[in-house]
Amino acid sequence: MRKRLIDNLRVPGPTPLPPKVLKTISQQMINHRGKSYEKVQSRVTENLKYFFQTKNDIFLLTSSGMGGLEAAIVNFFSPGDRIISFTVGDFGNRFADVARCFGAKVIQVKFPPGQAVSVNEVRKVLSFEKEIAGVLFTHNETATGVLNPIKDLSPLVKSHQSKPLFLVDSISALGAVELPMDKLGIDVLVTASQKAWMAPPGIAMIAVSKLAWKKHQTAKMPRYYFDLSMYKNFSAKNQTPATCAVSTILGLDTGLLMMKKEGREKIYRRHLDLTKSLRKGVRNLGLELFVSDINASPTVTSIKVPEGIDSHNWLEIIAQKYQVILAGGMGETKGKIIRVAHMGWVNQKDLDLVLKALQNSLNDLSHKT
């Protein structure tokens, strides 16, 4: 007997796709060197600039978000460069690991899982370090559901005497959370198609400031596939250097048109409202949230696993019996939390189903809340 299809996918990527996007990605291939494709890439890039709130170059890389993070490192630094990485979870750690892999001298400042980056600690570290080539932040830590205060951190980076590059991983937030690149002085900003953008996996999007381009001219880390000089040359023709993920870009185009119609401010408000509603509902069930309200992500909510409950078993019951797919913890939080994603194509009904599944599964486990 064929398994019933899962209707409510609530993991932090890939996220569910609207019917319009599904219809778009099911169409026949087109020539990625032809005029019809070039019109799509031009439109996608311009609509991304609306959400990035930037006039900077934006490039479409055929890769996962991790490819975007690698491009963010290898294009602007040289082996031996001092990079400071402020991390609050597994995905921030990966960003730092990429820089180490290519020979950077990484100073990693870790904060406990569930906590955001401390502005005071960042100020202290940056005042102590005199020569810095770059500073790395994760805007939204997908592994824990923490949103870092990039707006408050930006002045600390931009006022540093060595004029370091300001790099931000907003893979699981941009598109759902306001992050005005130009206003905040972000030099390199990365996101990915399978998160808030209502598109399939396969495309990383990276925006590059004028200062970053200047640093690119002398950067000596090895690169080929992710060499943004090639992307810049090809983007003049609204093309990519190598064969792109055509279906994903077509889906991204449709998703962006839907988002543009809704408007930035309404999208940001919708995600905040859904987060507030979900967190209230979780508390009403007697469950404990992993992240404080002030640091809570508008796209991912983490819930502490009650004592005496096996997280894997709990997630299996929620999936198999109630057709809701949630994610477990990662690294230090494995077995300690479960995660609910609410980004992109999501509404209150979707989250009501999550809350109902949580409640019913707890009853199944004979856990009294």
pLDDT-based confidence at residue 262 (cuts at 50, 70, 90): very high
Residue 243: partners with Cβ closer than 8 Å, 6 or more residues away: 32, 62
Q: Are 329 and 337 in contact (CB under 8 A)?
A: yes
Burial 233-255 (b: 16+ CB within 10 A, else e): ebbeebbbbeebbbbbbbbbbbb
The answer to pTM > 0.95 is yes
**What percent of the chain stands above pLDDT 90?**
97
Predicted confidence (pLDDT) at residue 177 exceeds the cutoff of 50: yes
Range 149-173 average pLDDT? 98
What percent of the chain clears pLDDT 70, i.e. is strictly above it? 98
Q: How far is CA 297 from CA 121, 139, 270, in A?
A: 21, 9, 13
Q: Which residues in the chain are classed under CATH 3.40.640.10?
A: 19-260
Overall average pLDDT of the 320-347 stretch: 97
28 pLDDT higher than 50: yes
209 with 179: CB under 8 angstroms? no
The pLDDT score that the predictor gives to residue 225 is 98
Q: What is the pLDDT of residue 366?
A: 74
Q: Determine the 3-state secondary structure of 17 from DSSP.
A: coil
pLDDT tens for 99-134 read 999 999 999 999 999 999 999 999 999 999 999 999
Distance CA 24, CA 367 (A): 44
Quick one: tokens of 347? 């509404």
| Angle, vertex CA 256, rays to CA 258 and CA 46, nearest 5 | 135
For the domain bounded by 8-15+264-364, which CATH number is listed? 3.90.1150.10
Strands (DSSP E) contained in 55-162 are 57-62, 82-87, 105-110, 134-138, 140-141, 146-147
Predicted confidence (pLDDT) at residue 142 exceeds the cutoff of 80? yes
Report domain 19-260's class: alpha beta
**Residue 250 near residue 22 (C-beta atoms within 8 A):** no
pLDDT tier for residue 4 given thresholds of 50, 70 and 90: very low
Read off φ and ψ for residue 82, nearest 5 degrees: -90, 120
Q: What is the pLDDT of residues 29-84, one digit of tens each?
A: 999 999 999 999 999 999 999 999 999 999 999 999 999 999 999 999 999 999 99
Furthest CA-CA distance within the chain? 66
Q: Where in the chain is the domain with CATH 3.90.1150.10?
A: 8-15+264-364
Dist CA 103 CA 202 (whole Å): 27
- For position 192, what pLDDT does the model report? 98
DSSP character at residue 234: H
